[in-house]
Structure 1
Amino acid sequence: MSIHQPLIPDSVTIIDPLDSGHHTPYAIWMARELVARGLQVNLIGSARFIEAVSAEAEISRSQVLSIYDGPIEQYHRSRVWKKEGYNFRFLRRALKIAADFGSETIHLVYLDYFLPSAFLNVLLSRPRARLFGTLHWTYFLPGSAASRWKNGRNLLHIWSLRRLLRGGMQLQVHSHSFKPLLRELSGSDNVTHIPYPIEEPPADVQARARELRAGLQLQPDQRLILLFGGTRQDKGADLALRLLARLPERYRLMIAGPAQHFKADDIERMAREAGVQDRLYTNLNFIPHGEAESYFAASDVVLLPYRPVFSGQSGVLSVAATLGVPVAASDSGTMRETVEAYQLGEVFPCEDLDAMQAAVERVVSQPYQGLTEQFRRDHSLEQFADQIVRHYRAEPELRPPVQGVAHAAKHRHLP
């Protein structure tokens, strides 16, 4: 399995199987910056994904391709083996379309949870284009709370990643610490660290923030805590409500983003049980990029009470850092690494409400002195795009042909 091709691409096909969360802004920034550097960009993904990216960048060719014929929530609720089937079929069709586009480079901007299907498709189709993938989550790493090291599924994902990298696929991650771990785990040097990009905030963000606070009728002495990005269980909306009950009366909480694991009725019920319904504000809808910044700028602290299962980089953290809003964050994923490197606020042990309360109160009580300008420089779109182009042009490391699936099944340990 070789994915070795010419090193200066004229066109790149971006594939996103799932357009949820931060994937779409990520793809928008990538497409826009690559086009500005003279590359042709093609898209494969959902209609919403293609519409959003095409509105921001001049796209050469695109093809709507859905991973699931029906409400995407049903895909997420599917059994593992069914989901793997959907993943395989999506990538099989996507790689064929990309081949028809004639791109020298294919970039899977959301490789997470698609490792086995990506390996099988590459093994079967042997694409001529070079393959790149962005890995946002490292749920399978030893020591990760999201990983049961003996779990067969995680072992399969590690095995697939190892084979993809040894075959020449190039991997991009957003954490300094992930890079050496993944290199050691995979036995390949085809892993590079590219910081998660940020966009300069809108010029009128502070004015809109003042309007938002006025609309909430917040008093000057009241402090607003922001929980942004949806109500997935791993993001800890329930923990935020329990925290609010512990804090003095002057604290308010805004939960903003799509209702996911916790629905609107769940949030209302938990707020009543905690006795904080009068101090809670909610907007449980998708908030478009460009409007979200006003929620951050209006807040006194951004809370990230993520559970240990969260194993990636946080787009919410990046927005807060860009706007110079202090954070109180759990030490899951790579958040401790980022918060401490740029002095962005306070970190507390996951699900420790005492430590969470102390972190929030410390952040609010002291002047913010985060390294905002340095963060902006290190995570600028220009840096991001320059590093991606350099990565596209890098010579991949190639290893001997991979062993067959049967051999791996026989030896039930990491290769």
Structure 2
Amino acid sequence: MKINLCETNLDGHHNVYLENLLNIDNTSKMFIDTKIEMSKKRIFKYIFDRKKLMKKFLLKENEIYHLLYLDMLYTYFPLIPLNRNKIVLGTLHFVPNNKIKIILLKNFAKKIDLIIVHSEILKQSLLNLGIKNVEVIDYPSFYDYSKIKETKDELKKKYKLEKKIVLTALGGTRQDKGLDIFLEAFKYLDNELKSKVVVNIAGKEENFQKEFIRKMSQEYNIELREQYGFLTDEDFMKNILVTDIMIIPYRKIFGGNSGPMTEAIVNRIPCITPKGLNIGYLTEKYNLGLTFECENSKDLAKIIAKMILNIEKKQILLTNYREKLTVETFLKRHKEIYKNLKEGEYK
């Protein structure tokens, strides 16, 4: 059976995700570049746009259709099964907490064969909602670090970070990613500890602009290394490799996985993440670092101090979770699921 990989966005990680799945036999790219009305005030157009898109995707019978970004599509309210004479599955990256979206997701889930999520806690969240047709495939690292010829020590020397513990916040400076929570934590750290660290911020300026970041850094006596704007793959990997502690201070509204966290795990870098979120659950279950009370800068400061002490004592991060995050495992699991769908295992 032909496997149609359906996508509406080829930016950044969307394209990398798609291109890797195309390495599976019998897969084919089905890209539809479309602008979907997002205004909730225009609810009928909001639904109609999605209905029109679904009709474009689900063209032929006796084929598999994999909706790679289900988050944008489940808000279409289908009245009949979408998998009639075909197999339809979708990958859901976030579980909603909005009541209306939950209703729409539950209805959509009944009309398709399977939903894939990228962590056990997201699966459990769906099970709690009564959605049973769920499988987990961990989100992998798609980066090839062998392309970076410098060692960690060489990179730290190059960037004048030697003899410093590098705390990194990586990616766009969006509000939901909590950069302000991280910077405010320095209000509660003593100057001796601050003198040991450099805060490494790399990514596109979004909600928090560099003027705001620099103002907070001056107020709380934070030594900064900044790299604003689009990061090439090489830039991204180098920022990972110079890191000693990955700080992921996301707010409660963030319900998915973290790309920087995945890369940190693959490179045996400890993470600090919020309790109660998916990423905090993973941290605690697989011994990936330490957790703090979500959106609490004072508690984050306490955990940063504890982690720095662990680093100074050379306590090693002990986890084999990184083995789940390879592209090989990612593709193997998709192959298994496609095979099981063809054989009717999920009926």
Category of TM-score, reference length = shorter chain: 0.7 to 0.9
- Answer yes or no: is 1:252 the counterpart of 2:173: no
Picking from 29, 47, 53, the partner of 1:42 is 29
1:347 Cα offset (Å): 0.7
Aligned match of 1:269 = 215
User: 2:9 touches 2:15 (CA, 8 Å); kept in 1?
Assistant: no
Aligned-partner SS, 1:196: coil
User: 1:13 touches 1:41 (CA, 8 Å); kept in 2?
Assistant: yes
Aligned-partner SS, 1:12: strand
- Answer yes or no: is 1:27 the counterpart of 2:14: no
User: 1:309 touches 1:332 (CA, 8 Å); kept in 2?
Assistant: no
1:103 Cα offset (Å): 8.0
Give CA-to-partner distance per residue, 1:176-219, whole Å, 9 cap, x none.
13323313413x43111111122464215461644542343223
Q: 1:290 and 1:39, CA in 2 relative to 1: closer, same or farther beyond 3 A?
A: farther
1:332 Cα offset (Å): 4.2
Picking from 52, 66, 80, the partner of 2:34 is 66
User: 2:62 touches 2:85 (CA, 8 Å); kept in 1?
Assistant: no
Q: Hey, what's the Cα distance between the residues in 2 that align with 1:261 and 1:283? A: 16
Aligned match of 1:380 = 326
Aligned-partner SS, 2:70: coil
1:349 Cα offset (Å): 0.8
Give CA-to-partner distance per residue, 1:220-269, whole Å, 9 cap, x none.
2x111100121110111112222245352221111111112212333233
1:135 Cα offset (Å): 1.2
User: 2:143 touches 2:237 (CA, 8 Å); kept in 1?
Assistant: no
1:298 Cα offset (Å): 0.5
User: 1:209 touches 1:295 (CA, 8 Å); kept in 2?
Assistant: no
Aligned match of 1:131 = 88
What's the C-alpha RMSD, in Å, of the aligned pairs?
Answer: 2.9
User: 2:95 touches 2:255 (CA, 8 Å); kept in 1?
Assistant: yes
Q: 1:132 and 1:289, CA in 2 relative to 1: closer, same or farther beyond 3 A?
A: farther
- Answer yes or no: is 1:14 the counterpart of 2:1: no
Aligned match of 1:402 = none
Q: 1:357 and 1:28, CA in 2 relative to 1: closer, same or farther beyond 3 A?
A: farther
Q: 1:124 and 1:85, CA in 2 relative to 1: closer, same or farther beyond 3 A?
A: farther
Q: 1:231 and 1:91, CA in 2 relative to 1: closer, same or farther beyond 3 A?
A: farther
Q: Hey, what's the Cα distance between the residues in 1 that align with 2:44 and 2:160? A: 48
1:337 Cα offset (Å): 2.2
Aligned match of 1:226 = 168
Picking from 75, 100, 120, the partner of 1:116 is 75
* 1:398-409 mapped onto 2 (5 Å cutoff): none
Give CA-to-partner distance per residue, 1:376-408, whole Å, 9 cap, x none.
32222222222222222333656xxxxxxxxxx
Give CA-to-partner distance per residue, 1:61-115, whole Å, 9 cap, x none.
xxxx1326xxxxxx8xx64335884675256236415527x78122222222532
1:42 Cα offset (Å): 1.1
Aligned-partner SS, 1:214: helix
1:325 Cα offset (Å): 0.8
- Answer yes or no: is 1:178 the counterpart of 2:178: no
Q: Hey, what's the Cα distance between the residues in 1 that align with 2:117 and 2:204? A: 26
Aligned match of 1:54 = none
Aligned match of 2:238 = 294
Aligned match of 1:207 = 150
User: 2:62 touches 2:86 (CA, 8 Å); kept in 1?
Assistant: yes
User: 1:302 touches 1:327 (CA, 8 Å); kept in 2?
Assistant: yes
Aligned match of 2:139 = 196
1:375 Cα offset (Å): 1.9
Aligned-partner SS, 2:194: coil
Q: Hey, what's the Cα distance between the residues in 2 that align with 1:371 and 1:12? A: 39
Q: Hey, what's the Cα distance between the residues in 2 that align with 1:98 and 1:212? A: 48
- Answer yes or no: is 1:93 the counterpart of 2:53: yes
Letter of the structure 2 residue corresponding to residue 67 of structure 1: K
1:126 Cα offset (Å): 7.0
Picking from 233, 239, 257, the partner of 2:181 is 239
Q: Hey, what's the Cα distance between the residues in 2 that align with 1:133 and 1:290? A: 31
Aligned-partner SS, 1:115: coil
User: 2:174 touches 2:207 (CA, 8 Å); kept in 1?
Assistant: yes
Q: Hey, what's the Cα distance between the residues in 2 that align with 1:368 and 1:204? A: 28
Letter of the structure 1 residue corresponding to residue 316 of structure 2: Q
User: 1:15 touches 1:106 (CA, 8 Å); kept in 2?
Assistant: no
User: 2:81 touches 2:111 (CA, 8 Å); kept in 1?
Assistant: no
User: 1:223 touches 1:252 (CA, 8 Å); kept in 2?
Assistant: yes
The two structures have a TM-score, normalised by structure 1, of 0.72
Q: 1:159 and 1:331, CA in 2 relative to 1: closer, same or farther beyond 3 A?
A: same
Letter of the structure 2 residue corresponding to residue 138 of structure 1: V
Q: 1:181 and 1:329, CA in 2 relative to 1: closer, same or farther beyond 3 A?
A: closer
User: 2:270 touches 2:288 (CA, 8 Å); kept in 1?
Assistant: yes
User: 1:232 touches 1:261 (CA, 8 Å); kept in 2?
Assistant: yes
User: 2:203 touches 2:231 (CA, 8 Å); kept in 1?
Assistant: yes
